[in-house]
Chains A and B, each alone.
Chain A
Amino acid sequence: MRVTEGMIYNTTNQSVSSTMAEMQTATEKVSSTKQLNRPSDNPADVRSAVQLHDTLSEIGQFLRNIDAATSKVSAMDTALSSAGELIQRANELALEGANGTLDASDRAAISQEVSQLIEAMAQDAGAKVNDEFVFSGFRVDRAPYTVTGPGAVSAYQGDHGVTIARIGPASTMQINVAGDAIFQPALDALTQLKADLDSGNPVQAGTITKVQGALDSLLTTRAQIGARANRLEQAQSSQEALQTSDKALLSQLEDVDMASAITELTKRQTTYQATLAVTAKVIQTSLLDYLR
């Protein structure tokens, strides 16, 4: 086989440029810390990674939704806790007012306090999150009950719209409760109590039952809301767990294992240096050095 200088130069050139190209890809991986830098690096993995990015974006959104829902639910819970105390107090006052030995001024004093309770309850019903009323259904711009006079409230002004939160893929949850379902029985009971007291007679047994009934239903609703808060918490943990495992999956596909990448880069740098050293030796020797 005949070998010319041209062939030797070609071979060394090709070796140097191919080792340089390999070194370049290794350097890119180390400096970007990613093994997928463009779709052609590994089309199948890139496809999976693109879909994982979308999934993670969606999970992030679910967590935000859960946060927003949680603040609404806890505002409702706070309002109901306060309303519960009001009814407890009303219960005590009802029992006190049933006592036949009270005189007119005593009953007037109790009636005054019941008025206060009614107005306070209307205020609790007007709980807001982000400037939106949570107990008005879709009419978040209107308070469910307004105070029309001392101890008197309007009819329910909201509607029965159901707001839902998306807390997971194909998983939704109703967040709100219509204001009149919770507060109407209580307000009706308190209004009746006040009417009884104002009438000058002892509070009737039916009224007391009504107040107690209102308290029970409020506690039941509060338990429902509590259950919703729990479900939101569970949804949050499960989405966070999914997020962690998806991030790990994505990292496996996308990210470079730094230790092995740096080792690879060092190896290729060494190869490159060896190629250069050999090239230097080989291309310098020629017959003309030895001819006189």
Chain B
Amino acid sequence: MSSPFFGLDIGATALRAAQQLLDTAAHNVANANTAGYSRQRVTLVSAPPYTFPAFNRSGLPGQVGSGVNVAAITRVRDNFLDLQVQAQTGLKGEWDTRQQELAKIEALFPEPSDSGLGGTIGKFWNAWQDVASDPTSTAARSALTEQASSLAMEFNRDSTQLGMIASGIDSQVTQKVQTINDLAKQIASLNGQIQRVAVTGDNPNDLMDQRNQLLQQLSQIVPLNVLTRADGTMTVLVGGTDLVSNVYARQVSVQTDSTGHAHPIWSDGSALTLPSGELKSLLGVRDTDLANYRTQLDSLAKGIADATNALHQRGFDATGAAGLPLFTYNAGNESGTMAVNQTIAADPRRVATSAAPNTPGDGSIAGLIADLRNATTYVSGDPATNVMGGTDLTTNGTARLTTISSSRATAQTWTFSGSGSSLTLTGADGTTQTINVADMAAGTTTTLNFDQLGIQLNISSPTTAKAGADLVTDLTTGGHNTLVTASLFTPPQTTSDFYAGLVGKIGTASSQSIEMAKNQQLVVDQLQQRVEETSGVSLDEEATDMVRFQHAYQAAARVITTMDEMLDTLINRTGQVGR
């Protein structure tokens, strides 16, 4: 027969178990809104039954149950789901960051509108047309220099703003690296604490929840490869190198390159590979997208400046001097440093509109510059070696080649050849045309129209009649028989096409990142719901359980009361006969 206190003991275990169940339910309820918390469950196991097989076992029927033990307190967590969440969070961080940075870039190009860079460029060409129709008007000339200034300033501003976005990314990179280092240190410290608990056989549930939360935050910034070790610690690898190993956290540092941009590297100097994550996206936007757009903006500024300058310098201004370059810039940073020549800005008479000096009503050079709006090439080159607008043709009387216009799409060098009054123009690509040059009477103008090649030469003959053959001689003598057409842009296209293309590229990149960010948000939301489904606390469930546990506690207490009465009977009322 077992001891009467045996039952009391069973009651005590029941009480302890019910107490523990209630405590755990209370803990769950308290942490229902804690981020990253996984609900905890008490594992009950019946206490080792009595008796063991042995020589000195009592002869009573057995085995007798001896109550309940709390075996373990475990958390309900799907570790595989956690890895999925980390991977998808990394992608979400990547697309979110990309979308935000591209939105900043996009804000610099408020198109379609009349007030963006495209509108300003159009107004610039328009101003040249106004000067061409009214070359002596000071108002038109001033308006032109104003418009040229506005154009240069808008290029400057856009370039500066792009630079500021790049600097903004630099400071974000530095911040993210700091965050990585902080999180890594915290994870390492948690690793240590978890290991110490795990070796004693306990489950460090809350610590593991905290560590998981930190890993999730970290995975948004850099892509992680997480390995769980047998001792409970987690080794975290980034791009193949371990960031956290046991209690040691490797540091990431920031290296600034010659242009002032920040690059993350391991503190020992080795390179950091980043397949995804916010950090990768920041670097990608700065080093690829922004750099690309900046180069395109520079090309746009350079194309406009070079073509305008080339034509302007072949013209003559209202003071009779040859035109100065209208725009100045520094190579390599064309859009950031583009400016209007100070001499011209200060004195609108220095705008060169005429093809010859002392012809105040001649706006032909201004007209050719205005025509650059729809041109893909323009006539450029060195006046010492090439035929240009303004060249004098001097065989047997002087005529002046006033202007040359090109509507040809390709840039190349052309050569004049011919004899008698027949003139041939041949391009480097082999295209050619021969025309007949008529004699010119005094005081007339003529046009040599190579219509199949898209090139026209306008000639004026101020003083005496000039034979066609003499014009041919002028154009075919060595030193003045080549003509160079240059492209504004590569590949050849008009200013408007180039600008529209740039805006289109930015718009497409931005719109794509918006879509991807949205999609990725949905993926992450769904995964979070799955995590919540598995590990989340349901208050209704806990409330129901608490009712159950409370009854268990009440029943256990009742058991103890019963045992107590039993013992009371045994102790106080047994063996009282005859007292």
- Point out residues on A near B: beta carbons under 8 Å: 1-7, 10-11, 14, 36, 38-44, 46-54, 57-58, 60-61, 64-65, 68-69, 130-132, 136-141, 159-166, 169-170, 178, 250, 253-254, 286-288, 291
Contacts and interface: CB of A to CB of B under 8 A. Distances in A.
Contact of A3 (B367, B460, B538): B538
B361 A139 contact: yes
Nearest to B510: A40
Interface residues of B, number: 73
B500 interface: yes
Given A46-B112, A161-B361, A4 B500 contact: no
B137 A130 contact: yes
Contact of B118 (A1, A43, A50, A68): A50
Given A47-B501, A140-B361, A160-B460, A11 B529 contact: yes
B507 A166 contact: no
A166 B360 contact: no
A222 B141 CA distance: 32
A107 B90 CA distance: 108
Q: SS class of chain B's interface: helix, strand, loop or mixed?
A: helix
Contacts of B537: 4-6
Given A160-B445, A287-B540, A51 B497 contact: yes
A138 B359 contact: yes
Given A4-B537, A39-B506, A58-B125, A53 B363 contact: no
Contact of B111 (A49, A61, A69, A287): A49
Nearest to A181: B443
B133 A54 contact: no
B334 to A, nearest CB: 21
A61 B537 CA distance: 70
Contacts of B32: 5-6
Contact of A65 (B129, B374, B544): B129
Interface of B: 32-33, 102-103, 106-107, 109-114, 118-119, 121-123, 125-126, 129-130, 132-137, 354, 359-364, 367, 370-371, 373-374, 407, 443-445, 460, 462, 496-497, 499-501, 503-504, 506-508, 510-511, 514, 525, 528-529, 532-534, 536-541, 543-544, 547
Nearest to A133: B361
A288 B503 contact: no
Given A40-B506, A53-B112, A57-B123, 14 more contacts: A5-B537, A6-B536, A36-B112, A38-B110, A40-B103, A44-B504, A46-B507, A68-B134, A138-B354, A139-B359, A141-B360, A159-B462, A178-B443, A288-B543
B519 to A, nearest CB: 13
A291 B543 CA distance: 9
A64 B106 CA distance: 33
Nearest to B506: A39
Contact of B504 (A6, A39, A140, A169): A39
Contacts of B110: 38
Contacts of B445: 160-162
Max chain A C-beta neighbours (<10 A), residue from B103, B354, B514, B540: B540
B122 A50 contact: no
A4 B538 CA distance: 4
Contacts of B443: 159-160, 178
B504 A47 contact: yes
A112 B516 CA distance: 92
